[in-house]
Every structure is written in C-alpha cells, then in structure tokens.
Structure 1
Amino acid sequence: MQVSFNKILKKDFELVLPYLEKLHKPVPEKEILKERLLEMFDQNYECFGIYKADKLVGVFGLWFMTRHYAGRSCEVDHIFIEEELQGTGIGRKLFEFIEAYITSKGCETLELNSYVENFRSHKFYMNLGFVIRGYHFLKKL
C-alpha cells in the first residue's frame, strides 16, 4: 500500500479539524478546537497528513522538546487513521517515518500518550518497542 506523510501548514489547519473531532467524546465546540489548533502551530509543534493515493486518510502531530529524563524528545500527538484503513500496515509505516524524521532532527526519545481504554493501541505500541512508564494525569482548571 502506497502511503505518504506530508506536513500540514498552519494556513491549511482546517484539513485537521474533522479528524480531531473524531478523537473527542464529547466533541469540543468547533471554535475552541480551531483556536487551540492554531495556537499549537505557533509552538514547537508540527502537523502532518497521512495520504493514500493523494487522499487525506489521517493526521498526526509532533511536539519537540528537551526533557531532563529523555534528552531531545518528540511526543506524538493525536494520531488518527480512518477506521477502515486501521490494521492495513499504515500505522507501522507511520512510525517508521516518524522515527526517521525525528532522528534526523536530533531526537533521542519518542514518547506518546494513549487513552487507558484503548487496549488495541497499547498492544500496537508495545509491539513497536514502546514501554509503559507511567500514568498521564490531567486536571481541568
């Protein structure tokens, strides 16, 4: 299967919004999601589209930072691949791309969060060599 991963620029942010909406339950108001995404583009964040035969079929984001415990690090964010394409090898190709890309940018570590109830993703990530190192806590203010 031929897939490609292409950067999505801030001016094209609207391509990403429908996929972000699919990740949320309940879905935040579209205007709030838009404001947050636009602000993300002004930080150490890069957004990519996942394309199959020039058709957008998913998205993901990368956050770059230096952490005392991990060195130069990248955190993968909001991975979404259309459901009918999950299990077809796109995810594995995606992580091959991510690892090569972030290594070329000097990263030593790759991190991600996965929802506790998303058991299928846990198995997938562990098969790629990830280990569970802790819990992600969140407190809404």
Structure 2
Amino acid sequence: MEVRELKTKEEMLESLEVLREVYPTITQEEYDRELDAMIPHNYGQVVVMDGETIAGLTGYWIGSKLWCGKYLELDNVVVAERYRSKGVGKMLFDYMEERAKEEKCTMLALDSYTTNFKAHKFFYGQGFAPRGFHFINILDKSKVR
C-alpha cells in the first residue's frame, strides 16, 4: 500500500465510494459541486492506495488562527470498512504529520462526531486530544449531511 496526494478534482472524484461510507447519500453531482467550492480555499486530499483500490482517504486544509498560527486540519478521515485495523489510518496520519511539518504548521487538528468512539480511540493513539468544543448552529438543515 502507498500514500498518494491527489492533485486534481478528477482524481478526488474517484474517492466518492470510500467517502460514501460516511455520507451514504452523497451524489456525484453534490461531491463535484462541493469540491468546486472547497479546492480554491486550500483544500487537498490524500489517499492510501492498495493497487488500484482506495483503502482510505483524508481531506485537509492548511490555515492560520490567532491562537496557534499555521495549522493543518484533517477533514473527513475515512478508512474503507475492509481495510480497518490494517494500518491504513496510521499511514494517513503519519503522512499528514510529515506534511504539516514540511508546511511549518504548529499543530494538526480534526473534528469528530461525538458518537464515533472507535475513531476517538484511534485519534488518542495518534497523539490527538480534545482541546475544546466545535459548536455549530445549523441554519439550513436540508443542506447538512
């Protein structure tokens, strides 16, 4: 298995099936539209490939905040069901940590659903810890997955 950074929207669109493990109802058209909105704002995507099969993926953003400076945020970390507990998540996190260091980021960050306890256990094992809450106020429920 190898880690690969996706460079084009067309490459990212190929990750839809794995992404559907988290968002089962997302359509190709919706994903295409969201990528069009995200890519111009420093969105990137990294995958772990097992031959021609995407075993796992994470999106990421590089940004800056007053309290921490430059940071890398992981977005939608997904490991395909049949590849879980086989080192794919660790490969993604190791790669992204090195990428963050290359970018001179002060930290990595991610959001996780409060009920995703298996993922939380994995994130703790990768050196992540909760630092605060990510509060949301949904303004249009029809657009939230």
* TM-score of the superposed pair, with normalisation by structure 2: 0.85
Give the structure 2 partner of residue 84 of structure 1. Answer: 82
SS of 2:6's equivalent in the other structure is strand
Give runs of ≥4 in structure 1 deviating > 3 Å.
none
* TM-score of the superposed pair, with normalisation by structure 1: 0.87
Query: Judging changes above 3 Å, is the alpha-carbon distance between structure 1 residues 21 and 98 closer, same or farther for their aligned structure 2 residues?
Result: same
Query: Judging changes above 3 Å, is the alpha-carbon distance between structure 1 residues 13 and 4 closer, same or farther for their aligned structure 2 residues?
Result: closer
Query: Once structures 1 and 2 are overlaid, which stretch shifts more, 90-99 or 4-13?
Result: 4-13
Unaligned runs of 5+ in 2: 140-145
Q: CA deviation at 1:28?
A: 4.1
Aligned-CA RMSD value: 1.8
What are the within-5 Å matches in structure 2 for residues 1-141 of structure 1? 2-24=1-23, 27-141=25-139
Separation in structure 2 between the aligned mates of residue 66 and residue 138 of structure 1, nearest angstrom: 20
Separation in structure 2 between the aligned mates of residue 29 and residue 83 of structure 1, nearest angstrom: 20
Identity in percent: 27
Aligned residue pair count? 139
Unaligned runs of 5+ in 1: none
SS of 1:97's equivalent in the other structure is helix
